Amino acid sequence: MSDLLDLPSYLDRPPAVAARLAELAARPLVMSIEDLSREYASDGGNSVLALSGIHFEIRHREFISVIGPSGCGKSTLIRILAGLDAPTSGRVRLDGHDVVGPGADRGMVFQSYTLFPWLSVKKNVMFGLKMRGLPTREAERRALEWLELVGLGDYAELYPAQLSGGMKQRVAIARALANEPRILLMDEPFGALDAQTRAAMQAHLLRICDTVDVTVLFITHDLDEAVYLSDRIVVLGANPGRVLEIIEVPVARPRTPEQFLSAHFLATKKRLEELIHRRETVPRHDAGTIRAA
Ligand SMILES: Nc1ncnc2c1ncn2[C@@H]1O[C@H](COP(=O)(O)OP(=O)(O)OP(=O)(O)O)[C@@H](O)[C@H]1O
Ligand SMILES: [Mg+2]
């Protein structure tokens, strides 16, 4: 008798999820990524096609993840969306306007900690607000509000070196959100954290997305994380970096850790495994002997 779980298709969705996905699809467009390609010249004269024909749209308050093997162009894509790099062809539009450079309308959170070490937690969050010309008192009030939201209200006067990795990322999220961006761009923000802190950060982020009017594009390597957080998952393949499939996640909201073992969750994860790992059938260990060369 087979020991495998009898899972539904990842395309099968409960009525409440189908209704939510239909409602999402009808929301106003925030960002459109239109036939984007990025080629890098290399030393030997050959070029690397990091991205090819990337095309998708992001709707208001959608949580969309991008997943794919190392080197498939995830960071290249997010850098282009942030305006830190330019595509070779294609375009990116935010609220209908072409993205031509960085702007306060996009908040960035990277894997590596990017806080200013010489500024207190509070001043890190105030930084963008002051740059936008807010008076110090107002910037301070707002910074403290955002720090409360990420659960760091009591840590405002500390310096980044005095914080754990998870706390630093919460400050980075508060700092990005304080500018009230139209979209939050996150490149493996929890990649450097241990499993337990990472789970806590996922819960934080879900709660933030419930409370704050923000749209999120989230890059991850982690299949569970992608399914747990997202409305849709853009699956990229490598060489050239291209969209293999855009999966609508058939898991109900609000999300809870118990759902990691739900049939729809596992069915989605199985589909991601098929697309990303594309495992060759691994020979059984007793299928042959290894010969010395
Ligand atoms: N500045 C650059 N110059 C030349 N090639 C680059 C440059 N940046 C990225 N590449 C190449 O583009 C491809 C995509 O790189 P990218 O960093 O976007 O991948 P990634 O999906 O983010 O990988 P990882 O999961 O390891 O972070 C790789 O082949 C990489 O070598
Ligand atoms: Mg990367």
Q: Is the CB of 236 under 6 A from ligand 1?
A: no
Q: Please tell me the residue having the least CA distance from ligand 1 atom 4.
A: 40
- Amino acid in position 94: L
Cis before 283 (ω within 30): no
Q: How many CB atoms lie within 10 A of CB 66?
A: 28
Number of domains in the chain: 1
Determine, yes or no, domain membership for 125. no
**pLDDT 10s digits, 127-138:** 999 999 999 999
Cα 100 from Cα 33, distance rounded (Å): 13
Q: Is 88 in the pocket of ligand 1 (CB under 6 A)?
A: no
Is 77 contained in some domain?
A: yes
**Cβ of residue 49 lying under 6 Å from some atom of ligand 1:** no
Q: Please state the pTM of the whole predicted model.
A: 0.92
Query: Per-residue pLDDT tens for 200-243?
Result: 999 999 999 999 999 999 999 999 999 999 999 999 999 999 99
pLDDT at 1: 65
pLDDT digits (tens, 9 = 90+) for 111-120: 887 899 999 9
Indicate the DSSP class of residue 258.
G
Closest residue CA from atom 12 of ligand 1? 50
Sequence letter at residue 27 = R
CA distance 264 to 259: 8
Name the DSSP class of 166. Answer: H
Q: Is 73 in the pocket of ligand 1 (CB under 6 A)?
A: yes
Regions of the chain with pLDDT less than 70: 1, 279-293
| CATH number of the domain bearing residue 216 | 3.40.50.300
Take atom 6 of ligand 1 and give the residue whose Cα is closest.
Answer: 40
What is the token pair recorded at 119? 């500024």
**240: domain range?**
1-26+61-84+182-278
